[in-house]
Amino acid sequence: MSIILDRPLTWREIAAIAEGAELALSEAAWQRLSYARAIVDAIVERGILAYGVNTGVGGLANVIVDRPQQRHLSRNILMSHAVGVGAPVGKTETRAIIAAAINNYAHGRSGVRPEVVEQMLVLLAHDCLPEVPSLGSVGYLSHMAHIALVLIGEGHAVLDGQRLTGSEALARIGRTPLVLEAKEGLSLVNGSPCVTGLAALALARSERLVDWADVTAAMSFENLRSQPRAFDETSLALRISVGMQATGRHLRALLDGSAILAAAAGRQTQDPLSLRAVPHVHGAVRDALAEIGSTIDRELASVTDNPAVLGTPEAPEVYSEAHAVAPGIALAMDTLAIAVAELAAMAERRIDRLVNPHVSDLPAFLAVGSGVSSGFMIAQYTATSLVALNRRLASPASLDGGITSGLQEDHLSHATPAALKALQILDNAEHILAIELLADAQAYDLQAEDLAKAPGTDAFYRDVRTALPPYRDDRPLAGDIAVARGIIRRADAGAA
């Protein structure tokens, strides 16, 4: 798959590039880059005061930097801002950040030379990915600085599974280190590409996850012999929610033709909320994700550099503003974190009902040989632990605040940390759904009556049983959870 950047990319395109799609620029995009650089060159030539071009940055914004030192300023910004710590972000996360940065420069308001963007495109094309420590940013600076280091032959990158210095990595792919010109150092660490790339990836994973949550919920619903009128189209239409209607359609398709549910019809008036409120919760998550997608697309369509350059080379204009701050996308990532955490918390309640003999009419803890075997007893503990961890992680990062740069930056959005913890919540949620998927498969095997499953749920049951046999306390259950999570990460569970 190849994506041509002419107009701003969408979040879905960023996510596709993160997963390996190729990226190229249209001729119009290259022209915008060249024109913006000509404006910066004019600013430099005329000595027009411009933040980060001929001044220091942050708390040093009023310190004038004369022309012979402006190249040094660009290089020094990368060196001083590359302060990340902790484990590196993953391959897909790094690709997403680079793609979002290229998208930002292609607006033609940053003023980096086309050579800078070309170097970034070559890194993507060769999967030569800078090593980017995950921690140490209150906004956007450190992650981007570590990416930019490799462009100038510094830092480290991973190529074909090998960790190399920046200069070694560039040589392997036939490139030479760049020498940065005025403003380029600031532009390379600036703006919101870091959080925007991570947000696109988080949203793509969340869409897949909510589809899978429908699947595991439908399987639990069937195993617990619940009342399908809870998903009736006429009833769900009483509440206005596009996400709820999509969830209802998916659940009805998954459960259509279930002999298990037909035999249980009318057995009780209504089921517990973790079963009958699935359309309401999953639908609310889908509605939230739709809004988050609009926010990310607006961010990608926006100029997030500071300063932004406008006008013409003959009449250059420079705007030193706060567009690099990203409170909107920070709030969106905090919302995504809460939505995914709630989705997973509801799944854990269904796991408990499957393993609890007081409510399930199934063997205690789905164990074969109860007493000698514990079955899924402790797997439910793991799900409970992860739900509690998600609850702690879902505390809004955008409220953290803080003061940096000698009072010059006295309000912080913590956008990138918001995205990083949303990704961690997604990891936890995938494990919780993996446990529910395994418990569902085990519950089908232990049903007292031999009644046909719905074709929709049976297909996913067979996927599990193709990969794993029924569980008999004969192996560490952690291995099964890892396999089930792999199914969730790879397979499509698309909603109707």
Q: What are the tens digits of pLDDT across the range 145-172?
A: 999 999 999 999 999 999 999 999 999 9
Token pair recorded at residue 239 = 């509440």
The answer, yes or no, to whether residue 442 has pLDDT greater than 50, is yes
Residue type, 125: A
Is the pLDDT assigned to residue 404 strictly greater than 80? no
User: Quick check: 496 pLDDT over 60?
Assistant: no
Where helices occur in 47-164 by DSSP H, the ranges are: 70-81, 91-105, 114-125, 141-151
Q: What pLDDT does 143 receive?
A: 93
CB 300 within 8 A of CB 9: yes
Residue 320 burial (10 A CB sphere; 0-12, 13-18, 19+):
middle
Q: What is the pLDDT of residue 407?
A: 64
What is the pTM for the complete model shown? 0.95
The strand pair at 85-88 and 133-135 is best described as antiparallel
Range of lowest pLDDT (118-127, 262-271, 437-446, 487-496): 487-496
The reported pLDDT for the residue numbered 495 is 66
DSSP string, 184-240: HHHHHH-SSHHHHHHHHHHHHHHHHHHHHHHHHHHHHHHHTT--GGGG-HHHHTTS-
Q: Which pLDDT score is estimated for 112? A: 97
Instruction: Identify the burial level of 424 via C-beta atoms within 10 angstroms of its C-beta, where 0-12 means exposed, 13-18 middle and 19 or more buried.
Output: middle
State how far Cα 83 lies from the chain centre. Answer: 23
Judge whether residue 29 has pLDDT over 90: yes
What's the rounded mean pLDDT across residues 446-456?
94
Bond before 327 cis per omega within 30 degrees = no
In this predicted structure, the answer to whether residue 41 has a pLDDT above a threshold of 60 is yes
169-200: pLDDT as tens digits:
999 999 999 999 999 999 999 889 999 999 99
Mean pLDDT of the chain: 93
**Using CA atoms, how far apart are residues 62 and 86, in angstroms rounded to an integer?**
33
Active site residue 51: yes
What is the structure's pLDDT at 405?
63
- pLDDT for the residue 64: 66
% of the chain surpassing 90 pLDDT: 80
User: Which structural domains are found in the chain, ordered by start?
Assistant: 2-190 (1.10.275.10), 199-490 (1.20.200.10)
Catalytic residue among 51, 140, 444, 461: 51
Can you tell me the distance from the alpha carbon of 18 to that of 41, in angstroms, rounded to the nearest whole number?
Answer: 33
pLDDT computed for residue 427 by the predictor: 98
| Predicted confidence (pLDDT) at residue 432 exceeds the cutoff of 50 | yes
- Please say if the pLDDT value at position 51 is more than 90: no
